[in-house]
Chain A
């Protein structure tokens, strides 16, 4: 599965557009991580727990999007976008969406 966030794929031709595919998830870290983040907010530095949270959410959302595309019989998803929205503090919604297409290497 070729996934890009551009509308076209270099060296390939879109032969069929199958439509929008999407995946989303809302995740949170356990309370321990939230407390640790509170302490980290006194001294600065990277909040690795929250970075991990975003990575996990993004993977999950992309997986769900890919599953939809596979169901449609696509071999690529182009022009994918990520958006997030605040649900409550310490949790995030990650929403991935793109256009499922059939690609062919251009001669």
Chain B
């Protein structure tokens, strides 16, 4: 019983710390990502290998953009995942952690392309990196992601107004 209380004294502050600071950090990051995503709404991203809507001849040769991001877990997430492992099911806290990493990395690709004077990115590839040594004994939960794409110049797509229905033949 005493051991249980001692354990609680150690774990409880860490869980509360994760609950308050971790949740705050995640909310802040999501707000930041949402804001930047809406700022780049017209930016053409695709994971096609061809160059959809490329301007020819190209004003500048296409170039690769690469970005990486590592997002930490917090103690609450790690703690909850331990419980989730007992019952099974979706680990929601880790789902949002991975989502943040992936959306952030795509944003960084777009920002890099934009900084280089391009207005489109094609062939976007996003993959996870095993940085925490999840294959070894010491397991540190974190979301490490690397993304790559090719930045190029594309014709600005005409704005589609939802009021005018597009007939199938009219798409050039």
Residues of A within 8 A of B (CB): 2-12, 37-38, 40-48, 50-51, 53-55, 58, 62, 80-86, 88-92, 105
Contacts and interface: CB of A to CB of B under 8 A. Distances in A.
The binding surface of chain A is classed by DSSP as mixed
A81 B131 CA distance: 18
* A53, A80, A82 — most chain B CB neighbours (10 Å): A82
Given A50-B144, A92-B129, A105-B57, 8 more contacts: A4-B123, A6-B49, A6-B51, A8-B50, A47-B72, A50-B70, A54-B68, A54-B146
The binding surface of chain B is classed by DSSP as mixed
Contacts of A88: 133, 136
* A10, A47, A53 — most chain B CB neighbours (10 Å): A10
A81 B149 CA distance: 10
B72 A82 contact: no
Interface residues of B, number: 53
B122 interface: yes
Interface in B40-57: 49-51, 54, 56-57
B140 interface: yes
Nearest to B146: A82
Interface string B63-80: 110101111111101100
Given A5-B64, A7-B49, A105-B57, A51 B69 contact: yes
A48 B135 CA distance: 22
B73 A41 contact: yes
B63 A10 contact: no
B92 to A, nearest CB: 15
